[in-house]
Structure 1
Amino acid sequence: MTDQPIILIAADERLAKIEAEFRARYDRDYRIVTAGDAGGALQLLRELVDSGAAVAMVVADVSIGEIPGPTFLRRTQSISPTARRLVLSTPGAGYAANLDALREATVRRDIDTFTGIPMGPRDEEFHTVVTELLSEWGWSVARPAVSIIDVVAEPHDREAGAIRDLLERLGFPNRILTPDSAEGAALISAATAESSAPVVLPLARAYDGRLFPAATARGLNELLSTRFDTVPEGEVTDVLVIGAGPAGLAAAVYAASEGLTTAVLERDAIGGQAGSSSMIRNYLGFPRGISGMRLAQRSRIQAGRFGAKFYTGRSVTGLEPCTLDGVPTYRVHLGDTELRARTVLIATGVAYRRLGIESVDVHTGAGVYYGAATSMAREMQGRDVIVVGGGNSAGQSAVHLAKFARHVTILIRRASLSESMSEYLIRELDSTPNVSVASNSEIADGGGEAALEWVTVRDRTSGEEHRFDVGGLFCMLGAQPDCTWLPEGIALDKAGFVLTGRDVPKDAWTDGMPPADLETTLPGVFVAGDVRSGSMKRVASASGEGASSLPLIHAHLAALRAREFGAE
């Protein structure tokens, strides 16, 4: 046995060809094992799992003897639920004949995807499929082979959980070490040598060797960010984007690509709520799906290549109109510093509502998690888990957790998931055997010692209550905007979302005309994404609104230039 993850190939007549293709590229980093029949492959897979081997991928020919490849791969799910499942078919007429069945198998989630067997050298499309699957497995399932940041903490430490969630969303490989482990004890000793004061956990060590006792997620984010993102005094940008979720990132890409000086502020991790999604399958251009973290990081890189500047780990504390050389601009406060901008796009998104049950919320970070918390999925191995919420984020979280947990229950207050969740996710949940839905239900109570251990679920129709032992409670309840820092001049709806365009009260219109479609009651301040009143609350729609803000921003900047030149 070695520490290499396993790629298991099951095929008969084409086994040698498929094996040669995989060995040519993946033999160094993965242990490739093969089986010439379905029964032998299943037995081999059981033996590998029982031995503790990490199975990254199971590859099957489109048919193995009399058994269709998707049927074989469906049987592997109960043995190795976290392994990625790939079907290979011969291009040409055989491929076309199997296409409908393969598509249906993908919809049912019997397989992750399918592609053709390479017919010649350098079939990069084939290897793109394979490496994407392996990459997602490595991020979401495997323990990191190389750690950028290590954190020493006691088990169930709430702050350590928040740090790990932040690092996962940033895409930083990390490890959580216990104080009594050899590596954890060594880090504590090193921190003790630097200071005579007792070391307070969590203790974090960054990639450059710096040690941070009493680390917090917010503090670590600020320290890591300021290393690269010092906010320049007196800088004035054409566009200042507040919030780096899908809406803000899309706006940054388009603004910077069109030559506008662009800055993006984000107090948390790049990606917002979408950044914590384990797999988004209905986003345009990613037929095999993409994790929220990867979508966010790719978008950041894309915007950065066009010249957009990112300042992360900063909270905006105020926004106020001002003038610069007689031209209206805005001053955005960031603690003891500020930025100025000719236009501002608010894309701060929303936060999940709290349950408001003290006996449950006291365990936040230790068994209770608000958001997808994909970083905690590995810790749910063999446990029963409850996901509260009926939106797409809840569905994506349940699918991911089901790869690790013994059973996942989706708890919804409504009668059906169809009222709030995309159909493709509902089908995916229906085909996942260890996921069930409890409708017309809500959390009534919960408790535990060091972490959450049990919850009471109330039937909202009958009023009956039942107690369940749980290993984790993941809450994705509704949407709550954070607009407390906005000036009074920006109109909000009754729920606190920002009003734009014709939804703005008529007494705030100018000369009988409403603001532009995505513009607020403050000229030059625009809103996109979930924080906007009436938005669709989907990743694609948020991205679309971010991109759609650019013509409006251009028009406002043109008006400012005309005013400036007119004044001259």
Structure 2
Amino acid sequence: MPKPIIILIDDEPEVLQAVERDVRRRYGKEYRVMKAISGHEGLSLLQQIGVRGEVVALFLSDHRMPKMNGIEFLKEAEAIFPAAKRVLLTAYADSSAAIQAINDIKLDYYLMKPWDPPEDLLYPVIDDLLSDWQANNRSPFGGIRVVGQRWSSYSHAIKDFLGRNGVPYQWIDLEHAEGQRLVQLSGIATPRLPLVLFPDGQMLENPLPVQIAEKIGRRTQADRSFYDLVIIGGGPAGLAAAVYGASEGLSTVLIEREAPGGQAGTSSRIENYLGFPTGLSGADLSRRAVSQALRFGVEMLAPQEVVKLRIEDPYRVITLADGTEITCHALVIATGVSYRTLNVPGIEQLTGLGVYYGASLSEARSYQDEDITIVGGANSAGQAALYFSRYARSVTILIRGSSLTKSMSYYLINEIERQPNITVRTHTQVKEVQGTERLEQLVIENSETGERETIPMSALFIFIGAMPHTDWLNGIIERDSQGFIVSGSDLIHDGKRPKGWTLERNPYLLETNIPGIFVAGDARSRSIKRVASSVGEGAIAVQFVHQYLSNV
């Protein structure tokens, strides 16, 4: 495949030459650097590139140009190469126009002139944007192919696993000629679908996620039997704890039962996270955090599940699902939460066949020009509704309350109100799901009037409540009535320390009733269910781990 392309646009030849010099010096080995002297010349160049089947990774355009300014050019360029990253080069006086362009054309970044030294002012920005582009680039590749049936819970599980782990793959429906051809070439008369084909020619029939993980080189077994710090859960809290633990010299292993990122990793867009004015997806946040953790030497096991905990003072011992035991000085539990199941007739047999818990972003394109329903009124539901509205003909949000204001952020409510194909129905619940081989229709009820209605529906996405993954801690770690882990001062009742506490001091903030075992993120009782809060708790937990270890 030819190299991806970086396009430079500026009407001042000397400036254009300087930009080209700096960009080519840094990126010339991996990218083709091309330039144009005006917006119109740039569009003509893009048409030629498109005809040749090549791909543009990034645009860097000056703003003040005659006939067509930089914002106008980038808006036109997006229609030709929508996945390319877009950077505007501006003077200080144009900064307000650049900020407005973030909202109007979803500009990725703007840079002030001059950008010297490029090592400080240019390269870090472009490095980050190109890294994002590489992670999401959909250019043709000889990667993993998955052959299966659309209305199959097994196919959905494999697509969801690959998608959440950031593994590029090509989905091929068995009903299409290419799917039938690949099945025929496999030499298996009646393969158990989905059939996963790898670039080296090997294939797996209806594999477990752990089989795929091992095949693509993901770590599922620990290198050692003892660590300073074990972190259970790879969501924002767990990843933050891993970064801070390993960067401060602790031998650290993180164990995640599904995919790094946790529930936040399925978010289509997080727009209120500090430092990202254009927002970022949960997958991008997870990818960045995983790369950072690995750089500091964190061992990351996924998919792998912890099923048992026992205390052998001064050590804590965990048992994995495969029977392996890992011992540590300190433990951080960051297992997060999952969505509660919807208990209505017909739903169990249709889960994965049009009924999904969480965002299931891997399924979004499958519902192009179809009707879908989302149950729930929290931020995750709102983010999913906005994402699916790009593809679906209509998106209906069902909530039991009178409005979204009680549970959803203001910025999301405003964006939802601006989308013509999103409808919010208040005081409404799903009472039954119906279908034979897949979801076909919903029975919904208005709780105020008692009126029931049957509506045709292609998909149902459920975002209700939060259920912690803590049952395996029963009898050891103190939990509240809903299963969330109690920590810190909440463990002290009438001046008495909790059962299992063996030290003279009181538990630290985020420390459980067992010394040296901490909790962070959504699994903690009375936690704030926000990504930034989870990241903060993960970082803080490590500081208390150090205090604990210094006194052991």
8 Å Cα contact 1:83/1:137 also seen in 2 = yes
TM, length-normalised to structure 1 = 0.79
Aligned pair count reads 534
Q: Which runs of 5+ in 1 are unaligned?
A: 561-568
Per-residue CA deviations over 1:106-147 (Å, capped at 9, x if unaligned) read 45x66345625877899786787688678767866x745225
Partner of 2:248: 258
Does 2:339 align with 1:352? yes
**% identity of equivalent residues:** 36
Letter in 2 for 1:353: R
Q: 1:144 & 1:317 partners in 2: Cα distance?
A: 40
1:84-233 matched pairs, under 5 angstroms:
88=88, 90-93=90-93, 95-96=94-95, 99=96, 103=99, 106=102, 111-113=106-108, 115-116=110-111, 143-179=138-174, 181=176, 183-185=178-180, 187-189=182-184, 191-192=186-187, 198-216=190-208, 218-221=209-212, 223-224=214-215, 228-232=219-223
Partner of 2:537: 545
Per-residue CA deviations over 1:440-473 (Å, capped at 9, x if unaligned) read 2222222234322322332222222333333322
Does 2:319 align with 1:319? no
How big is the shift at 1:399? 1.8
8 Å Cα contact 1:317/1:335 also seen in 2 = no
TM, length-normalised to structure 2 = 0.81
Q: 2:411 & 2:62 partners in 1: Cα distance?
A: 26
Partner of 2:459: 472
How big is the shift at 1:223? 3.5
1:3-152 matched pairs, under 5 angstroms:
88=88, 90-93=90-93, 95-96=94-95, 99=96, 103=99, 106=102, 111-113=106-108, 115-116=110-111, 143-152=138-147
Per-residue CA deviations over 1:209-255 (Å, capped at 9, x if unaligned) read 33111224x3445544776443346x111111001111111111111
8 Å Cα contact 1:319/1:487 also seen in 2 = no
8 Å Cα contact 1:221/1:268 also seen in 2 = no
How big is the shift at 1:35? 7.4
Partner of 1:564: none
Q: Which runs of 5+ in 2 are unaligned?
A: none
Determine which of 528, 536, 542 is the counterpart of 1:536: 528
Q: 2:463 & 2:333 partners in 1: Cα distance?
A: 23
Distance 1:128 1:556, change over 3 A: closer
8 Å Cα contact 1:320/1:487 also seen in 2 = no
Q: 1:464 & 1:6 partners in 2: Cα distance?
A: 58
Q: Secondary structure at the match of 1:467?
A: strand
Distance 1:375 1:6, change over 3 A: farther
Distance 1:181 1:466, change over 3 A: closer
How big is the shift at 1:29? 10
Distance 1:119 1:558, change over 3 A: closer
Determine which of 434, 438, 452 is the counterpart of 2:425: 438
Q: 2:391 & 2:546 partners in 1: Cα distance?
A: 48
Q: Secondary structure at the match of 1:362?
A: helix
Does 2:473 align with 1:482? no
Partner of 1:563: none
Distance 1:66 1:297, change over 3 A: closer
How big is the shift at 1:162? 1.4
Q: 1:29 & 1:156 partners in 2: Cα distance?
A: 44
Q: 2:413 & 2:419 partners in 1: Cα distance?
A: 10
8 Å Cα contact 1:147/1:174 also seen in 2 = no
Letter in 2 for 1:231: A
How big is the shift at 1:53? 13
Q: Secondary structure at the match of 2:411?
A: helix
Q: CA RMSD in A?
A: 4.3
How big is the shift at 1:298? 1.9
